[in-house]
């Protein structure tokens, strides 16, 4: 059976960067609620009776999309995966409790990065519009400005990577997601990784934990 890995960290901590590489080197499915929601931004959720009728409004304001929507996405994705690395979920205690009901975890990792560094990483992030590869204008620039090294696609800035929305996302993170990190720490299963090393340095630490999981 494939390994079940959970990667926690604030927005910008490097979860996407590390998850993609873990998925390819350990033959795991990369399950990420952020990408799943971005691909379904205009999904009609009006019959669920929430404040907004699509995920888009929540995402563009930096708020969490309602649990009922996200839980369903995760449940389906985990059922279809053998081994997986889960990134971007759970983001509140209710989601963490739901996750416990639907799966078992072999390792829970937390990428630790300071607030100041997070803001710099998020506002400088660029993503490929075609393949989703991650770049940073300063820390991980593409060979040619605005062009994806992997596929030649166009690099764009996400709507929610502007300074104002970044601040809001970090506020939401402290309020809702930090309790999730503390929950796994209290259970004694959290492995904390220094997320401020180079991407390769972080990967070495992460891979060591996953190998033993
Ligand atoms: P980042 O990689 O910067 O942490 P994500 O791509 O994970 O950001 O998430 C982008 C947005 O998608 C979030 O701000 C939120 O609106 C929504 N989202 C992603 N995952 C979840 C989740 N587990 N629960 C609720 N909303 C989520
Ligand atoms: P998350 O999925 O946690 O939001 P990402 O993997 O998308 O984080 O990384 C956020 C930004 O920081 C991206 O622009 C990425 O290129 C950059 N980045 C990721 N890891 C590092 C690192 N170890 N050092 C410097 N920049 C990094
Ligand atoms: Zn690309």
How far apart (Å, rounded) are the C-alpha atoms in residues 95 and 99? 6
CA of 117 to the centre of ligand 2 (A): 10
CA of 67 to the centre of ligand 1 (A): 11
If one counts every other C-beta atom within 10 angstroms of the C-beta of residue 209, the result is 15
Q: What percent of the chain has pLDDT over 90?
A: 98
Residue 84 carries which DSSP code?
E
Q: Which residues are catalytic?
A: 15, 91, 125, 158, 169
CA of 93 to the centre of ligand 1 (A): 15
Phi/psi at 68 (5° precision): -55, -35
Does 126 count as an annotated binding residue? no
Q: What percent of the chain has pLDDT over 70?
A: 100
Whether 30 contacts 5, CB under 8 Å: no
At residue 154, the pLDDT reads: 98
Q: What is the residue with the minimal CA distance to atom 13 of ligand 2?
A: 125
* ∠ CA 99-107-90, rounded to 5°: 30
pLDDT at residue 83 is higher than 90: yes
Given the CA of residue 74, which atom of ligand 1 is nearest to it? 23
How far apart (Å, rounded) are the C-alpha atoms in residues 136 and 97? 34
* ∠ CA 209-13-211, rounded to 5°: 10
Q: What is the residue with the minimal CA distance to atom 9 of ligand 2?
A: 14
Nearest ligand, CA 172 = 1
How far apart (Å, rounded) are the C-alpha atoms in residues 209 and 213? 6
At residue 142, the pLDDT reads: 98
**83 CB near ligand 2 (under 6 Å):** no
Given the CA of residue 37, which atom of ligand 1 is nearest to it? 12
How far apart (Å, rounded) are the C-alpha atoms in residues 86 and 109? 10
Q: What is the residue with the minimal CA distance to atom 4 of ligand 1?
A: 11
How far apart (Å, rounded) are the C-alpha atoms in residues 163 and 37? 21
Q: What share of the chain is helix, strand, coil (3-state, %, to 5)?
A: 50, 15, 35
Q: Across residues 52-71, what is the average pLDDT?
A: 96
| Residue corresponding to tokens 């990065």 | 113
pTM value is 0.96
Q: Across residues 123-132, what is the average pLDDT?
A: 95
How far apart (Å, rounded) are the C-alpha atoms in residues 18 and 195? 10
Alpha helices in the chain (DSSP H): 15-26, 33-38, 55-61, 67-80, 93-102, 115-123, 163-172, 178-186, 199-212
Tens digits of per-residue pLDDT, 179-195? Answer: 999 999 999 999 999 99
Q: Across residues 167-178, what is the average pLDDT?
A: 98
* Residues at CB less than 6 angstroms from ligand 1: 11-12, 15-16, 33-34, 37, 58-59, 62-65, 70, 88-89, 91, 95, 160, 169
- Give the 3-state secondary structure of residue 128: strand
Cα dist from 20 to 24, 66, 75, 158, whole Å: 6, 25, 20, 18
Q: What is the residue with the minimal CA distance to atom 12 of ligand 1?
A: 34
Domains detected in the chain: 4-114+173-212 (3.40.50.300)
How far apart (Å, rounded) are the C-alpha atoms in residues 95 and 71? 7
As a whole number, the mean pLDDT across the chain is: 96
CA of 8 to the centre of ligand 2 (A): 13
At residue 1, the pLDDT reads: 78
Is the peptide bond preceding residue 90 cis, with omega within 30 degrees of 0? yes
Does 47 count as an annotated binding residue? no
């Amino acid at each position: 059976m494939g390994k079940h890995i959970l990667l926690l960290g604030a927005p910008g901590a490097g979860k996407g960067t590390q998850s993609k590489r873990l998925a390819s080197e350990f033959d795991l499915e990369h399950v990420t609620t952020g990408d799943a929601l971005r691909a379904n931004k205009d999904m009609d959720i009006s019959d669920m009776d929430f404040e907004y009728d699509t995920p888009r409004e929540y995402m563009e304001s930096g708020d969490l999309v309602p649990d009922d929507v996200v839980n369903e996405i995760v449940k389906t994705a985990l059922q279809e995966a053998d081994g997986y690395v889960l990134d971007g979920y759970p983001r509140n205690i209710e989601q963490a409790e739901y996750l416990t009901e639907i799966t078992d975890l072999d390792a829970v990792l937390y990428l630790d990065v300071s607030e100041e560094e997070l803001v710099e990483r998020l506002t400088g992030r660029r993503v490929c519009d075609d393949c989703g590869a991650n770049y940073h204008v300063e820390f991980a620039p593409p060979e040619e400005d605005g062009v994806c090294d992997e596929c030649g696609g166009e690099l764009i800035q996400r709507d929610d990577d502007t300074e104002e929305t970044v601040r809001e996302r970090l506020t939401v993170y402290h309020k809702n997601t930090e309790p999730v990190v503390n929950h796994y720490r209290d259970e004694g299963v959290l492995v904390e990784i220094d997320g401020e090393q180079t991407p390769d340095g972080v990967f070495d630490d992460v891979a060591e934990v996953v190998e033993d999981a």
